[in-house]
Structure 1
Amino acid sequence: MTNIFDELRAALHSVWHRRWLALGIAWGLCLVGWLMVAMIPNSYESRARIYVQLDDMLAQQIGIGQGDRKQGVDRVRQTLTSAVNLEKVIRSTPIGADITTPKQMEAAVLGLGKMIKVESSQENLFIITASYGDGSNSDAQNAKIAQLIVQKMIDIFREENLAGNRGEMSTSLEFMDGQLAQRQKELATAEQKRLQFEAQNPSLAGGAGAGLQKLEAARAELRGIDADLAAAQSALAAINGQMAGTPRTIAGAAGPVGGARGALNEAQAQLNSLRARGLTENHPDVIAARNQVGALRSAAAAEGGGGTPGMPNPAYSSLESIRAERQANVQALSARRAAAQQEITTLTAQQFSNPAAAGEYQQITRDYDVLKQQYDKLLQNREQLRIRGSIETEHNSVRFQVIDPPASPRSPISPNRPLLLLGVLIMGLGAGVAASFAVGHLRSTFSTANRLEKAIGLPVLGAISQTISEPARILRRKRMKYFYAASSALVGLFVILLTIEFVQRGMVA
């Protein structure tokens, strides 16, 4: 422990003995260091927070989901610090006042890109931060430029989402219009080609598929006509049967009015009326009337003949008119059946008459249908895109709200000048002490008797203290005053520099 204490005393004596050297080195290093710190420009940081509202019911109705709008906002955020946007910021702020060449602009863009940060703290919350410091400007100017940079970035952020969407939609609509015009020309050419082919081959109008459809329709119509013709022929046969059982004339009555022959005539008329109504022979009313006629005929035969000659039977005349109508219906259906059969024969012959032309027409029709489908789809997509563009640009589904506008910073973020000034002072003092200590070890002097004893290996019998005269003491005291004054001046200069720093910050605020 005694050795350590002796070594410490020796070191302190060596430094104190060369205190002017330590102070001079401290002064030199402090002046150089403080000058370098003073040359470092203050960097001021400005920031702003932006809230982006992505929810919109009208946009969701046309298929613009929240994810789509979020992707658009993220794309703008990621490209916000692109070279094009940074050049806009430089040209719209005092940064670009002295830039005249592309090389200078490129360097300015690279430097500004390192000073700007765009962060997303939450899903819909964005933070734009910009720092700026230029030694050729005052602190107030640097603070104002930092604020202008953030404000310009907010404007670009808004413009990229609004005007950018308009530009994209406009470009997309122009592309869709060009595609539609091209498809329209191709469709008109294909349609003209199809019309010319149909004019040259009218039998193939509609294509092979249409021919088959016509053939099937004709066959279906023929089957319907056959069914109607069978029903008409059945009805005609029925009326012929009724007329076969109906007398043409009615004989006059021989007995008193209301005899068996008169009743027979009434029953016969009633039976004919039932048949004229279209009732079949198996109908209960027809069967009852027929039985009644049979019974009355037997009674009329027993009553005896004679009387007035026969008169025309009205029921028979009515049946004749019905039969004429049904005969006309059968003839009309027969004529229609013959026409349908002829059409079927013609269509069947056309299917096998010119297969090459039919194949060519089918190819033309297929090309036309494909172009028509493409044109209709493009037209529908163009309309959807137009509506979507109107919603995104005019309705403005993405809405911005600046929560914290960029403010002019009051204090620099870098450098921490008070800490740097203190560090330079400590470094200067430490370097002076270290230099004095090193010089003391380089010189062959001994500060204590023990050190001399260790160095020569012989015992030291004693030490003679230094005797100072009075003029020497006065001179030493005077030099000590100078040393303390120089040391105090160094500390005072440090305090003055700190004061200047805080005064400058107050002037910016």
Structure 2
Amino acid sequence: MDLLIAQIFSIAKRMWKFRWYGVVVAWLVGVISAVAVLLMPDRFEASARIYVDTQSILKPLMSGLTVQPNVEQQVVMLSRTLISRPNVEKLVRMADLDLKSQSKSEQEATIDRVTKALSIQSTARDNLYTLAYRDKDPETAKRVVQSFVSIFVESSLGASRKDTATAATFINEQIKNYEAKLEEAEGRLKAFRLRNIELTASDGKDSASRLAEMAAQLDRARLELREAENARDAAEQQLDGAGTRGGGAAMPNLLPDSSVGNIATPEIDGRIDAQKRNLDGLLQRYTDEHPDVVGVRKLIKDLEEQKRKEVAELRKAAQAAPAQPGAGNTAQQEIMRMLAASKVQVASLRARVQEYSSRYGAALNAMKTSPQLEAEAAQLNRDYAIHKKNYEDLVARRESAAISGELDVASGVADFRLIDPPRASDKPVAPNRILLLAGAMLISLAAGVFTTFVACQLRPVFLDAAELRNRTELPILGVVSALVNPSERRRDKVDLIRFCVAALGLVGAYAAGMTAMAILLAKHVG
């Protein structure tokens, strides 16, 4: 630290040797800077304040029917991008600033100057925007701000309508594309259904479900066939037994309980089977409480009750017939009638079993290709559903966009209110000569100090033996001291006074200039 302080003092002593160079340079820079500041032209500022009202009573009422854009964000983005080259070129033409520009370079210079002089200040919370412009002529500045306000309002309206038209055009193009896709999907689905119409089920079941249903029907038909064959065999046995014992004797237990229990009612059984199949189909689509399901179950219950009554009557008649004397022929005729009915039922059930067997075989063979067909049908249905949904959404959005455009035309994107009309200031707002003079004084003083530092570096001087020995790395044999007489002391004192007067004179001149400038400004304001 001591070494650093010693070096600073050493540099200051060497700079003191060239102090008059610094004073001269400081005065030259100070005079030039002061003249430049005083010759700078006055600049007047014109400004206008605009309030942007983004609230509208129609928009809450139309919520859900129209697209609600973020108007505040649009206005903020517009304010940030308003000072662009196309807008500035338009502004230059509107304010007649291009009348004095003849060449292309002058026009470019005018555009650059206007771009730098324009400014937009906003308070985003209050939606207040201040448009300002500075120029040497207050009337020109006012005219530029008026044109700037017009461009600000027109740009917002034009951008909104342009966005609405662009969105409507895009949506219409997409609707046309999806109409073509939807028609193509409908054509493929129609061709597939016509090509595989025999495999298309009206109940919406897949091939596995239809195959399981056919297997259940086949098993049920086979069971009914075995029951009918057992009833037929029992009737034949009873008829054979009655023939061996003779027709005139009474035949007790002509029809045992096992045969009586196998009494068949083909008509009622067929109706019950049909209703059960209908019930299975309804349960695939509806719940148990659906009126159609409840009605079918009640009908099945009534048919089963009717079947029980007929079987009971036939059993009662069969059991009562042997108790009557001389009723052998009658019982035998009844057995023959029942045998004939059993044979008819067996033949009918065999035909049903054969039909179900052929259907089951055909469905089993179709299972080899049905998964591929079902996958293709599912893909076609999925593509059709997607295109249809997108088409309907686009149509709804088109209607919403149309209503939004009409809403914007009716209520406007935002309400632009001119709070303060364009007005130019009476006094110049720039340049701030007091501040510039203070800066010029500091620059001149810095230039003087820098000159002395450069001079001492260009013409170095060693002030003591230690510094000389450290710089040259040579031994010092001796030092000759200078004797200062009183006349030299007086000369040095006069020189110091002159230096102080010159330096303080520069500072005093600047202080007097800034004071006079402040007084003139105060009088102008008063």
Name the TM-score, length of structure 2 as normaliser.
Answer: 0.48
Greater radius of gyration (CA): 1
Name the TM-score, length of structure 1 as normaliser.
Answer: 0.50
